[in-house]
Structure 1
Amino acid sequence: MEYRKLGRSGMYVSEIAYGNWLTHGSQIDDDLARQCVYAALDAGISTFDTADAYAETRAEAALGSALAGVRRESVEIFTKVYFPTGSGKNDRGLSRKHIMEAIDGSLHRLKTDYVDLYQAHRFDYETPLEETMQAFADVVRAGKAHYVGVSEWTVDEIRSAAALAKELNVGLVSNQPQYNMLWRVVEPEIMPVSEELGMSQLVWSPLAQGVLTGKYSPGMGAPAGSRATDQNGGKDTMGKWLGDDVLARVQRLEPLAASAGIPLSTLCLAWVLQNPNVSAAIVGASKPEQIKENAKAAGLTLEDALLKEIDEVLEPVIERDPRKVDSCHSRP
């Protein structure tokens, strides 16, 4: 495993991070979740990403149980706040009330006194940004988080938050966007501004939720039991990548991966990590073997000629429009 700094902070994260959206507390039971976490640790993965809203808070609880007994200083635990965690009118958003209550709930479920990174899961248009950033600063000063970050914020929202973070003397170090070979909307604006502001990317869906593993074939339909058929989230979020035009081009990546001597999934994860503004690629897994395979992408360097070939194959189906960052606001 290789490790990178998170933004301009002094904290290292593992290039491959383990995330439990759609898995812990939903697709897999706690015993299998524990096996996956142990497989991640064995592979050198030290960074674990979750959120209070995943599986209605069960994902945090499953991760906390799986990490119980692991030396706390040896791992980096990240969680998020914004999406509903209850039925009350204040059980969501980025108000001071919700943030201060949510962090305590997350720490309880994660069985820890602090998280290494506390992230705003989306931008809250109903709460003054000043209120949100002050609450985050107070969470940090209370020792309940070391750093703060955002997820799927626009470039203007990030700039505004960074200015307030500087005033409040709190470390705003990261953005968590969707980013992969097919979805590159953060490249034109978000990444350059992030680099300028001392922030880096923690990438979710680096394999386009499994599409970039090559297991979905054009004209064949989604395999039974795959994420594309999962009613808990995958089916709704993968539609844009399941067209035959996209799947056919993904199939054409297989020979390129073979020529590099690596599986397609490893190629696609390594591609994400070629970007210097990316600190980690967050991968999910429902089986320990998947974790071990994904971890092999760390430290790989892809030749420029191979990167060019990838672009030539995928160009007609790549989404680059920076305005599409807004379209992610409804997704976890």
Structure 2
Amino acid sequence: MTVTEVLLLRLGELGVCVCVTVRCRPGRTEPAGGAMQVSIACTEHSLKSRGSEDRLCGARGTSAGSGCSGPPGGIQQGQAKARAGAGGRTAPQGHAHMKEAVGRHSSMKYRNLGKSGLRVSCLGLGTWVTFGAQVSDEMAENLVTVAYENGINLFDTAEVYATGRAELTLGSIIKKKGWSQGSLISLFSPHLLPSARRSSFVVTTKIYWGGQAETERGLSRKHIIEGLKGSLSRLQLEYVDIVFANRTDISSPMEEVVRAMTFVINQGLAMYWGTSRWSTVEIMEAYSVARQFNLIPPVCEQAEYHYFQRDKVEAQLPELYHKIGVGAMTWSPLACGIITGKYSEGVPEGSRAALKGYQWLKERMDSESGRRQLDKVKELHLLAERLGCTAAQLAIAWCLRSEGVSCVLLGASNTEQLLENLGSIQVWTLGAEALCVCSAR
């Protein structure tokens, strides 16, 4: 067997599409010296773990020509598959403005981040609370692996999460897996598989709280630049795809903020910038400053969004999306775990509300409004039970239906939770009617 034949066999085993072009000299019917030109075409997820794909989609061939098939009989009969993130290939109704696409090997959907050209998975993996604090480094690696294998291409962190340890943990995982500089060389090195190219996933971080010194927090030009460089050092990356201003800074002029963000993008330290927990007025001001001085405007706002926190994402941000193209990346779809029902009988040991520094969450649940929310959660659980899904899946699917939402960030402390949450895509694509009922409650 020739080297070329071995190469083609290896590529075929990996499921990579290979195109062979044979060039012959004039008058010859065979290529001189057996030379041939081989071109390789593969997608981001063509190299992902077969085991994970089979776990989520079932055995290949269950539906002709479709990778994953929807559960027969609707959501009720597909509950087990839905919890594992399986889903049909039926395109969701509406949301044409989001320019959605379906992942080749999973039910994951991809959307443009606002009106930018950046394609992100509709579900992303967040690291708040978990990485560097609540979960072990081994579990964090498992979460990143399962997330990527199932189509998630966006990983969110911040300089303040676990005082920098979340970035350190995520960076170590990316480095260990060889993702920071992954390339096609991994095709010929079995011990490197599964590997991802840096260009195939998105890393975002947030800048504001960097340290105790006066110059180590805020949105001054100094801290934006130095804070981002510190984040890149912890992440062991040359750049992040999106850097967010983690809140507004009344002591820093808007022009200074926009100029600093433009600078880090022009220097190749970030690809885009966005805002987090900014008002629509402040976002519009940043956009106006960018246009006035020929600078780069924000492309996205990170906002809290769940069944009990709706006004900003549903009533305010859609106008910005249509007018200036700012998209929404939302967080806390389960209201810090309240919607899961885990707090219905008090605060369980090991839960977020039991952690140091989260007394505010316990106080929220003990308040009158918190008790009303817990009562509403019981209704959501009943609806989810009728649909044959979990309340968590229903809540996340409910977030996905909103106009202008580019990505919903998930938090998980184990892979079982993550796989369950991935099943929300199944609920979303098959349960449009139920989501309308849920929204009206």
Q: Which residue pairs with 1:318 in the alignment?
A: none
> 1:306 and 2:306 equivalent?
no
C-alpha separation between the residues in 2 aligned to 1:197 and 1:5? 14
Cα separation, partners in 2 of 1:168 and 1:103, compared to 1, 3 Å:
farther
For residues 257-311 of structure 1, the C-alpha deviation after alignment (integer angstroms, 9 at most, x for no partner) is: 1222211101100000001210111011111111111112236236554234324
C-alpha separation between the residues in 2 aligned to 1:94 and 1:8? 25
C-alpha separation between the residues in 2 aligned to 1:33 and 1:104? 23
Q: How many residues align?
A: 309
> 1:61 and 2:168 equivalent?
yes
Match of 1:240 among 364, 386, 391: 364
C-alpha separation between the residues in 1 aligned to 2:160 and 2:300? 20
C-alpha separation between the residues in 2 aligned to 1:197 and 1:75? 25
For residues 9-62 of structure 1, the C-alpha deviation after alignment (integer angstroms, 9 at most, x for no partner) is: 111111110010111111122222111111211221110000001111111111
For residues 181-220 of structure 1, the C-alpha deviation after alignment (integer angstroms, 9 at most, x for no partner) is: 1111202223322332101111011110111112221xx2
For residues 110-168 of structure 1, the C-alpha deviation after alignment (integer angstroms, 9 at most, x for no partner) is: 11111110100000000101001100000000011110000010111010011123343
Contact conserved, 2:258 with 2:297, CA < 8 A, in 1? Answer: no
Identity percentage over the alignment? 39
> 1:221 and 2:346 equivalent?
yes
C-alpha separation between the residues in 1 aligned to 2:264 and 2:240? 10
Q: What's the secondary structure of 2:336's corresponding residue?
A: helix
Offset of 1:246 from its aligned partner?
A: 1.3
Q: What's the secondary structure of 2:111's corresponding residue?
A: strand
Listed as ranges, the matches of 1:75-94 within 5 Å are 75-83=201-209, 85-94=210-219
Match of 1:207 among 329, 334, 349: 334
Larger Rg: 2
> Match for 2:238: what amino acid?
D
5+ residue gaps, structure 2, are: 1-107, 180-196
Listed as ranges, the matches of 1:127-146 within 5 Å are 127-146=252-271
Q: What's the secondary structure of 1:147's corresponding residue?
A: strand
Cα separation, partners in 2 of 1:2 and 1:100, compared to 1, 3 Å:
same
- Higher relative contact order structure (alpha carbons within 8 Å, sequence separation ≥ 6): 1
C-alpha separation between the residues in 2 aligned to 1:296 and 1:305? 17
Q: Which residue pairs with 2:393 in the alignment?
A: 266
> 1:50 and 2:176 equivalent?
no
> Match for 1:261: what amino acid?
G
Contact conserved, 2:208 with 2:247, CA < 8 A, in 1? Answer: yes
TM-score, with structure 2 as normaliser: 0.67
> Match for 1:11: what amino acid?
L
Offset of 1:238 from its aligned partner?
A: 5.7
C-alpha separation between the residues in 2 aligned to 1:136 and 1:60? 20
Match of 1:191 among 310, 318, 331: 318
CA RMSD for the aligned pairs?
Answer: 1.7
> Match for 2:157: what amino acid?
T
Q: What's the secondary structure of 2:247's corresponding residue?
A: coil
Contact conserved, 1:209 with 1:238, CA < 8 A, in 2? Answer: no
> 1:182 and 2:308 equivalent?
yes
C-alpha separation between the residues in 1 aligned to 2:352 and 2:395? 18
